[in-house]
Amino acid sequence: MSFLLSDKQRRRREEFRQFARDELIRGSDSFARKNIEKAARRGYLGLPVPREWGGMGEDFLTYILLIEELSRICASTGGILAVHTSVGTFPLLYHGTAAQKKRYLVGLARGSLLGAFALTEAGAGSDAAALQMTAVRTRKGGYLLNGSKVFITSGGEADLYTVFARTDPDKGARGISAFLVEKGIAGMEVGPPERKMGLHGSVTTELRFSDLYLPEESRLGEEGEGFIIAMSLLDGGRIGIAAQGLGLARAAIEETAAHLRARWRESGKEPGQGAAFTLADLYTGLEAARLMVYRAARLKEAGLPCSKEASMAKTLATDGAVEAVTRCLDLWGPAGMGSESPLTRYFCDAKVTQIYEGSNQIQRIVIARELLKNNL
């Protein structure tokens, strides 16, 4: 057993930390394009992608460290990158044909292409298998896509979308297939950006598909494999969002501790136990979540089953993040609520992490299912 990062991982983490601190623009009101471009120039958009496909070939845990460090400074940037990699790039990596990989994977890894993932619909959130968008085979081969997707991260900004549609209306989850849709293709319309509580540097839109024609080669995996493809991405996606949660919690705790230390220095009065003990609890919770996230990451790296662990990590880290930003805001008093205060941004950013990529209620269903299945 070891609870230490390898020397290489530690160096990388320091590098990510410095990059985020020195280069990222904080608190963007609109799509954090510059942050993504800077990250792409460093190779970060393909950090865990094998070198042969233009990536940096780093291990999954190092990728998780990256998301955590980016999110520490800008949760929107961390989130865009997590989606781009976990569910925007990995579908190609795991399921793409050689031709598809050639066409897209290198671009995604280098960051010349930004990836997105379009599964959710107005009537299909947690119950993803209830999706209604259709992909009907045409006589000349290929498919005609019709329907709409909602809450798509990087909608309009992304260059490549992995889209899920129903090729067979009668087969439930097994009637869903995955497709690769390039930006700008005729038949796909991007809705206006959602006005959200937080994550303002990340764009979220509706996508409307109207008789969008796709050739056979644009299908990812076999017909009917779509749901399996989506599910195969879940564990990695969850661990990524968990890392985003870690970054947010750390931001709140570190900055609040600094704020209290500064007040102590100025006033000569030591912070009371109310504040001190609150921070101690939040910090302890963060440490617990961190270990759970890294453990899930290592299981995934080893190719071992990790659904329960990924769900546990996502739940603990994101519930912890919301708890941390909320309690920390209390400790700043009025100064914390101002539009200038970073705490406000962390507070507004954190909430969605309990909801997307599998709401924490769904995570509990996954965990409970695993618990009740085996005998612990």
Partner 1 sequence: MNFVLTDEQKMTRQMVRDFAEKEVKPSAEERDEQELFSREIFDKMGELGLTGIPWPEEYGGAESDFISYVIAVEELSRVDASTGTTLSAHISLASWPLFKYGSEEQKKKYLEPMALGEKLGAFALTETTAGTDATAAQSTARLDDDSYILNGTKIFITNAGEAEIYIVFAMTDPEKGSRGMSAFIVEKDAPGLAFGKKERKMGLRSSPTLEMIFEDCRVPRENLLGQEGEGLKIALSTLDGGRNGIAAQAVGIAQGALEEAVAYAREREQFGRPIASFQAISFMLADMATKVEAARLLTYQAAYLENEGLPYGKASAMAKLFASEAAMEITTQAVQIFGGYGYTRDYPVERFMRDAKITEIYEGTSEAQRMVISRYLLRE
Site string for partner 1, 209-248 (x = CB under 8 A): ----------------------------------------
Residues of this chain, 36-65, that bind partner 1 according to CB under 8 A: 61
Task: State the minimum distance, in angstroms, from the CB of residue 254 to partner 1.
Answer: 9
Is 310 within 8 Å of 318 (Cβ atoms)?
A: no
Distance CA 363, CA 317 (A): 12
Distance CA 139, CA 142 (A): 8
- The kind and range of the H/E element at 178 are strand 176-182
Distance CA 127, CA 238 (A): 17
Q: Which range, of 165-173, 203-211, 252-260, 349-357, touches partner 1 by CB under 8 A?
A: 252-260
Site membership for partner 1, residue 312 (CB under 8 A): yes
Q: Which is nearer to partner 1, 140 or 373 (CB)?
A: 373
Residue 217 bears catalytic tag? no
Please identify which residue in the block is written with the tokens 């005609």: 144
Site membership for partner 1, residue 368 (CB under 8 A): yes
Distance CA 60, CA 82 (A): 12
Cα diameter, the chain: 80
Q: Which of 60, 161, 294, 346 binds partner 1 (CB under 8 A)?
A: 294
Q: Which range, of 96-104, 240-248, 256-264, 341-349, touches partner 1 by CB under 8 A?
A: 256-264
Indicate the pairing of strand 188-190 with strand 176-182: unpaired
Pick the closest to residue 141 from 224, 218, 222, 209 (CA basis).
218
Residues in contact with partner 1, total (CB under 8 A)?
48
Chain-centroid distance, C-alpha 145: 26
**Residue 13 region, left (φ>0) first, then alpha (ψ -120 to 50), else beta?**
alpha
Q: Which is nearer to partner 1, 74 or 260 (CB)?
A: 260
Q: Which of 235, 255, 309, 357 binds partner 1 (CB under 8 A)?
A: 309
Instruction: List the catalytic residues.
Output: 357
Positions in the binding site for partner 1 (CB under 8 A): 1-6, 9, 61, 253, 257, 260-261, 264-265, 270-271, 273, 276-277, 279-281, 283-285, 287-289, 291-292, 294-295, 298-299, 309, 312, 315-316, 361, 363-365, 367-368, 371-372, 375-376
